[in-house]
Amino acid sequence: MKFATLPEGGVDGCLLLVSRDLSHAVETAPIARTLLDALERWDEVAPELQARYEALNAGRMPDARPFHPAACAAPLPRSPQWCDGSAFLNHGRLMEQAFNTPPIPEFDTVPVMYQGASDDFLGPASDVPLPDEAHGIDFEGEFGVVVGRVPMGVSAADALEQVRLIVQLNDWSLRAFGPREMKTGFGFLQAKPSTSFAPVAVTPDELGEYWRDGRVHLALHVEWNDRWFGHPHGREMNFGFGELVAHAARTRRLSVGTIVGSGTVSNADRKAGSACIAERRVIEMIDDGSAHTSFMRFGDRVRMTARDEEGGAPFGTIDQRVVRASRADDEEASS
């Protein structure tokens, strides 16, 4: 199944089922009004939702309407928890060089992960308000999973069975804050503004052969101001999502709707490009002795689309513009 959320009807939005080709959608009420509602009652509602999804794809839903991805919120506008890993070791090693930090102990055997804010996710076409260009505005293209109820101490294999949905996301970063926050040992806070999501969340079966070994086997195509930036492939995760979810649940339970991210998609082959500016800058430092690519400016756009070998885009596209935050943004956030 494929799901999307419209920003109406409450803080958690209005849930839609989206056709396989992303052309049409239909509301899921009264089966489930929000995605979090559906996840919390998954065993109860999934069969009914599946039947409605099959009817939608067969053209048997008279109340179906054209699907407009740009009108969507994040599939989960907020979630109980957001944990982001760094499962692409190529990216992690390059970032150690970027921030001049000592090697992380057991980096290749134990996942690293931070707990981010999950109260204010952004939709795929929302402007991204940020306070200052001097903060080093950067995008980070990733994949993620949304889980059901995960018990403490779960095995990686059993954790993988709790993956309900797969998502594509942009984990925005403010690089000027990163070095200090990492050195404190307390993790990111100011360095990580609100995360953005592609419009569609998909069940694992929808990806078919592109979901295996707990990895998304798709290339993530990234454009910055309409110019190619990279197309790294998801297959090079050192840790699969089963291992990442099990790591997050080692000493505590995970609530239904928890999102676990892969970290920035990164490949050893330089021809694949990058999914974040910081990685390109580090490569420039290694190759040329200094970084010459700047971070983002207000008005810049970034576009991210995960594509399969036939050109399909199962999650839709993130296409956003960075803007200067205003007092109106602060008032809207507090209302």
What are the two backbone dihedrals, phi and then psi, of residue 81, each rounded to the nearest 5 degrees? -165, 145
- Is residue 73 domain-resident? no
Q: Write down the pLDDT at residue 219.
A: 98
Asked if 58 and 98 sit in the same domain, the reply is no
Asked if 328 and 304 sit in the same domain, the reply is yes
Asked if 58 and 92 sit in the same domain, the reply is no
Furthest-apart CA atoms within the chain: distance in Å:
61
Q: Write down the pLDDT at residue 104.
A: 75
- Is residue 192 domain-resident? yes
Asked if 207 and 123 sit in the same domain, the reply is yes
The residue length of the chain stands at 335
Q: Write down the pLDDT at residue 91.
A: 78
- Is residue 77 domain-resident? no
CA distance 181 to 185: 7
Domain count, the chain: 2
Asked if 63 and 87 sit in the same domain, the reply is no
CATH label of the domain that carries residue 147: 3.90.850.10
Show the CA angle centred on residue 231, arms to residues 229 and 235, nearest 5°.
150
- Is residue 60 domain-resident? yes
Asked if 274 and 149 sit in the same domain, the reply is yes
Asked if 63 and 119 sit in the same domain, the reply is no
Range of the domain at 37: 2-67
Q: Write down the pLDDT at residue 334.
A: 47
Q: Can you list the residues of the chain whose pLDDT is less than 50?
A: 334-335
Asked if 93 and 57 sit in the same domain, the reply is no
Asked if 131 and 278 sit in the same domain, the reply is yes
> Tens digit of pLDDT for each residue in 202-246?
999 999 999 999 999 999 999 999 999 999 999 999 999 999 999
Both tokens of residue 164? 């309900």
Asked if 44 and 107 sit in the same domain, the reply is no
Is the Cβ–Cβ distance between 111 and 244 less than 8 Å?
yes
> Tens digit of pLDDT for each residue in 86-123?
999 887 788 777 666 677 777 888 999 999 999 999 99
Sign of CA dihedral 284, 124, 190, 184: negative
Q: Write down the pLDDT at residue 330.
A: 56
Asked if 295 and 205 sit in the same domain, the reply is yes
Pairing of strands 201-202, 196-197: unpaired
Q: Write down the pLDDT at residue 333.
A: 52
Asked if 251 and 227 sit in the same domain, the reply is yes
**Residue after which a domain boundary falls, among 38, 67, 96:** 67
Q: Which of 77, 60, 78 is nearest to 19 (CA)?
A: 60
